Amino acid sequence: MKFEREASALDRRSAVAALLDQRGDLLVVSGLGSPSYDVFAAGDHDGNFYLWGAMGGAAMMGLGLALAQPDRPVAVITGDGEQLMALGALATIGTTAAGNLSIIVLDNGEYGETGGQPSHTAHGVDLCAIARAAGFASSMSIADARDMPALGAAIRQASGGPRFVRLAIRPGSASKTLPPRDGVFLKTRFRASLELAVT
């Protein structure tokens, strides 16, 4: 069964920029590839941790960060392909009840990093339903830009989660805007932003 894409699907760059507008003390983990390019394009920030590898690891990295920093809101911004690779992570997140964690999936129904092949969500896999079944406090799908300010405000809260949000975005990729790729630099900068010892 082919999944019908929403007619009002979002522009990925505009959606991420709106999500991170007035971000305050929000910490962000971005999944590899296009989500990291989108987060960087919205404005580089010491509280951004860009993943350059470890496909499937973004959600669990965000969970670890949320548990270690319970007073700070944490958002994972990743793609449908990466989250499909880590469905088990949703069950783990649901059982931890990390109230400060939001998982935001940019769903264009494609594996953008490998040529745009249809992903499982293009064939009807419902990530929101999976998150609900896994025990997330809330799970929603958004395809209207008018909903972005309210979503941005929600993910800046350190309570009420874990939240799962599917952003229905248009197929295709935006131009690459490459964030720093030096893993040691990213780790050191991120730790410094948390006022942790830099080793």
* ∠ Cα 4 112 140 (to 5°): 50
Domains of the chain (ranges, CATH numbers): 12-193 (3.40.50.970)
- Cis check for the bond before 118: say yes or no (omega within 30 of 0): no
pTM listed for this prediction: 0.92
Structure token pair of residue 62: 């965000």
Would you state the torsion angle of the CA atoms of residues 5, 8, 9, 15, taken in this order, to the nearest 10 degrees? -170
pLDDT on residue 3: 47
Q: How far is 199 from 188, CA to CA, in rounded Å?
A: 8
Q: What is the pLDDT of residues 5-34, one digit of tens each?
A: 555 689 999 999 999 999 999 999 999 989
- The string of pLDDT tens digits covering residues 46-92 is 999 999 888 889 999 999 999 999 999 999 999 998 999 999 999 99
Confidence band of 1 (pLDDT split at 50, 70, 90): very low
CA distances from 171 to 5, 6, 73 (A): 9, 11, 29
Average pLDDT over residues 24-45: 95
DSSP 178: -
**Inter-residue contact 90 to 128 (CB < 8 Å):** no
* DSSP-based helix, strand, coil % in the chain, nearest 5: 40, 20, 40
Residue with more model confidence, 96 or 53: 96
pLDDT 10s digits, 141-170 = 999 999 999 999 999 999 999 999 999 999
Residue 185 to residue 170: CA distance in whole angstroms:
33
Phi, psi of 121 (to 5 degrees): -65, -25
Q: How confident is the model at residue 114 (pLDDT cuts 50, 70, 90)?
A: low
Mean per-residue pLDDT, 97-109: 95
